[in-house]
Structure 1
Amino acid sequence: FDLDDDDTCRAAVRMFLQCNLVQQFHIPYDVLCRWILSVRKNYRPVKYHNWRHALNVAQTMFAMMKTGKMERFMTDLEILGLLVACLCHDLDHRGTNNAFQSKTDSPLAILYTTSTMEHHHFDQCVMILNSEGNNIFQALSPDDFRKVMKVVESAILSTDLAMYFKKRNQFLELVEGGEFDWQSEEKKEVLCGMMMTACDVSAIAKPWEVQHRVAKLVADEFFDQGDLEKLQLNQQPVAMMDRERKDELPKMQVGFIDVICLPLYKVLSDAFPWIRPLYEGTMDNRQHWQDLAEKVEMGLTWIDHDTIDKPVEEFACEIEALADIEFTVTTLNCAHPEDKTDTTPVHERKPRFSSLRKTGALGKAVRNKLSKSVYSSQTAIGSTTAGAPSSG
């Protein structure tokens, strides 16, 4: 909360430097800085799923690698891919979840029928890398490039909690079976997926002062979606997105911790003891939330409702714009659409990029085209940099 925007970018650069990734993979310093700034600029100013959330997720991954000693199980190339995935895992998030995309038949839901937003986040990541001056993988061999992109894609898609539930039992079986060899491709992918989820929800393990503030931001964003569902779909939102049930947030936080966070952190800390602070921090915060939940049951108010009571005013007049796809990528050489001052009343603005609407084949076609484009540039580079170091 105390870092300004420039400081957050410096922190991101520092993580790459301290992991020795800049030196190991010959990433030009100006390209790394430009890429980080471009990634930051392609996060929307939503309340929670924004650039600062991405940075916090990356910082937790960095801490897991260093303090948690997980780097001993990873190649340098995998560490590079995981840090990139963390910073990019919510690119262009609109403040609404996959269920909302499906309910509204949004163009993104038509493009990607499963893990809708996660596929979009990955595609945005690819397009930034494919932008001029932003390819931090430019010195990789073609083989290393394929490997790191596979890590990035798998890691970003694993942040869909639906994917987490599918793979959690598999991970539990490996740990309970005494698995200590994580080098096979299949096991490594499962481990990386669990680590991504652990980082994605890691605000739950932060000191209480931080966790309390983050929880209000998450609730604000969820309640905004609930307001949209009432306005646009005439539906009653689920409890965690219903502003009228805001006093139940402590109880819902306890449920979230018990169902998702504690089981994950417990099995991770059992297998990798250096990660135990995540489990202990979550246990501490669970007690805080439980105490607040008990206050609510006694009829006491637990939270300052000044911000959480107020729906987002522009929702009523931006419903049409929600259906638009923005497959544009903002780099340092162009302005972000939301940075431009538009004096036209919001309700009179025309949808952008309407030519990209509702074409079921577009998602796969776009991804294939972009991947081939980036890969072709890597092949050309590889032919002249055969001696480029490989992480193995």
Structure 2
Amino acid sequence: RILFCYLLSEETREALKTPTFDVWDWEPNEMLSCLEFLFHELGLVDEFHINPITLKRWLLAVQEHYRKNPFHNFRHCFCVTQMLYGMIHLCSLQEKLTRMDLTILLVAAVCHDLDHPGFNNTYQINARTELALRYNDISPLENHHAAVACKLLAQPHTNIFASLEPDVTQKLRRGMVSLILATDMARHGEILKGFNEKTESFDFNNPEHTGILKMVLIKCCDISNEVRPMSVAQPWLDCLLEEYFMQGDREKREGLPVAPFMDREKVTKPGAQIGFIKHMLLPMFEAVMKIFPQIEPVMVQPLRDAYDYYMSEQQVSRLTT
């Protein structure tokens, strides 16, 4: 069961480095092979003496711990990790960050939504779910994703850090947990503000600076679908809205508050994306652009184009209704 040795062509290896990579083209075993390749290609397997068979087992266990949600599923995990890999190459992060940093980023991306139940933190808290009670309403989902990730790494057959000294393992684990917790969108404003305060005099030798950069990088990749070509991004939006509407329907049945963006009777695709791109995506990617101007043509401009597209779609729909 662990011999997913799908060989990647040179064309695929190069495509994996780009935001235009079509994440819909791949079967689960092929996605596993791609993820496995990233760890080898970045030199992380050699650097941290990762047993290649353990890496395969860990990736398979990760896949099995993603549920079959419309959006928060294993393909989303692959999507986020592939975009991160693209940013590592685009921004030459191998020359600016340590292998430790790259490992923390990659492992966090792979694990960032483990065992996501398909209902967000607001639902967990309002419905007083077991997760909300366990984590005292503080980022219940992200705390759960991190806990599941740590549990997998604590099991001998899936512990990719088994060869390392305890202090190194602890540093990797703490770094991973910190990044997974940073993906809670409730912390978006706080994290972006902290990053913006450092962009003018950013110092790659300052751990505080690189720490918040890593948070912003994983956040960018987590919500980066609109960076991708429209043919790739649109199906993701359909999946996200399907998951949102399932939550909205359940909240109505249970007499819980329903967010306007989760109410199938109120949402339009342009309406859903215009504010999100303008207020969340563009400010964050433009902040990253101050340190890495090379992302503008391949990541920031597609966001601006997507914004213009949804604005024109909204105008058309208003004229026809």
Same fold (TM over 0.5): yes
Q: Which residue of 2 aligns with 1:273?
A: 293
Tell me the CA shift for residue 270 of structure 1.
Answer: 1.7
Tell me the CA shift for residue 185 of structure 1.
Answer: 2.4
Matches within 5 A, 1:226-237: 226-232=248-254, 234-235=255-256, 237=258
Q: Per the alignment, in what secondary structure is the counterpart of residue 133 of structure 1?
A: helix
Distance 1:299 1:237, change over 3 A: farther
Cα pair 1:226 1:237 within 8 Å, conserved:
yes
Cα pair 2:58 2:159 within 8 Å, conserved:
yes
Tell me the CA shift for residue 236 of structure 1.
Answer: 5.0
Number of residue-to-residue matches in the alignment: 296
Matches within 5 A, 1:352-371: none
Q: Per the alignment, in what secondary structure is the counterpart of residue 155 of structure 2?
A: coil
Cα pair 2:202 2:209 within 8 Å, conserved:
no
* Structure 2 residue identity aligned to 1:133: H
* Structure 1 residue identity aligned to 2:43: N
CA distance, structure 2, for counterparts of residue 163 and residue 73 of structure 1? 26
* Structure 2 residue identity aligned to 1:193: M
Cα pair 2:81 2:109 within 8 Å, conserved:
yes
RMSD over aligned Cα atoms: 1.2
Greater RCO, 1 or 2 (C-alpha within 8 Å, sep 6+): 1
Q: Which residue of 1 aligns with 2:195?
A: 171
* Structure 1 residue identity aligned to 2:259: V
Query: Which one of 7, 10, 22 corresponds to residue 45 of structure 2?
Result: 22
Tell me the CA shift for residue 68 of structure 1.
Answer: 2.1
Q: Name which one, 1 or 2, has greater alpha-carbon Rg.
A: 1
Distance 1:242 1:121, change over 3 A: same
CA distance, structure 1, for counterparts of residue 186 and residue 95 of structure 2? 28
Tell me the CA shift for residue 121 of structure 1.
Answer: 0.1
Q: Per the alignment, in what secondary structure is the counterpart of residue 119 of structure 1?
A: helix
Q: Which residue of 1 aligns with 2:179?
A: 155
Tell me the CA shift for residue 299 of structure 1.
Answer: 2.9
CA distance, structure 1, for counterparts of residue 295 and residue 93 of structure 2? 9
Q: Which residue of 2 aligns with 1:69?
A: 92
Tell me whether 1:297 sits opposite 2:318 in the alignment. yes
Q: Which residue of 1 aligns with 2:108?
A: 85
Tell me the CA shift for residue 11 of structure 1.
Answer: 0.6
CA distance, structure 2, for counterparts of residue 143 and residue 174 of structure 1? 29
Deviations, residues 307-340 of structure 1 (Å, cap 9, x unaligned): xxxxxxxxxxxxxxxxxxxxxxxxxxxxxxxxxx
Cα pair 1:198 1:264 within 8 Å, conserved:
yes
In the superposition, the TM-score normalised over structure 2's length comes to: 0.89
* Structure 2 residue identity aligned to 1:208: M
Q: Per the alignment, in what secondary structure is the counterpart of residue 90 of structure 1?
A: coil
Deviations, residues 10-65 of structure 1 (Å, cap 9, x unaligned): 01001101101111111111100010000000000000011110111111111111
CA distance, structure 2, for counterparts of residue 38 and residue 295 of structure 1? 46
Cα pair 1:240 1:249 within 8 Å, conserved:
no
Q: Which residue of 2 aligns with 1:127?
A: 151
CA distance, structure 2, for counterparts of residue 129 and residue 294 of structure 1? 50
* Structure 1 residue identity aligned to 2:227: A
Q: Which residue of 2 aligns with 1:202?
A: 224
Distance 1:162 1:223, change over 3 A: same
Distance 1:162 1:73, change over 3 A: farther
CA distance, structure 1, for counterparts of residue 147 and residue 274 of structure 2? 34
Q: Per the alignment, in what secondary structure is the counterpart of residue 158 of structure 2?
A: coil
Distance 1:145 1:132, change over 3 A: closer
Tell me whether 1:284 sits opposite 2:283 in the alignment. no
Tell me whether 1:252 sits opposite 2:272 in the alignment. yes
Tell me whether 1:53 sits opposite 2:54 in the alignment. no
CA distance, structure 2, for counterparts of residue 186 and residue 180 of structure 1? 10
Distance 1:184 1:278, change over 3 A: same
* Structure 1 residue identity aligned to 2:243: E
Q: Per the alignment, in what secondary structure is the counterpart of residue 289 of structure 2?
A: helix
Q: Per the alignment, in what secondary structure is the counterpart of residue 225 of structure 2?
A: helix
Cα pair 1:164 1:193 within 8 Å, conserved:
no
CA distance, structure 2, for counterparts of residue 198 and residue 155 of structure 1? 12
Query: Which one of 202, 212, 221 corresponds to residue 180 of structure 1?
Result: 202
* Structure 1 residue identity aligned to 2:316: K
Tell me the CA shift for residue 145 of structure 1.
Answer: 1.0
Tell me the CA shift for residue 172 of structure 1.
Answer: 0.9
Identity of aligned residues (%): 30
Deviations, residues 287-307 of structure 1 (Å, cap 9, x unaligned): 12112111221236xxxxxxx
Q: Per the alignment, in what secondary structure is the counterpart of residue 273 of structure 1?
A: coil
Query: Which one of 112, 133, 140 corresponds to residue 116 of structure 1?
Result: 140
Q: Per the alignment, in what secondary structure is the counterpart of residue 281 of structure 1?
A: helix
CA distance, structure 2, for counterparts of residue 235 and residue 132 of structure 1? 42
CA distance, structure 2, for counterparts of residue 139 and residue 164 of structure 1? 35
Q: Which residue of 2 aligns with 1:215?
A: 237
CA distance, structure 1, for counterparts of residue 295 and residue 152 of structure 2? 32
In the superposition, the TM-score normalised over structure 1's length comes to: 0.74
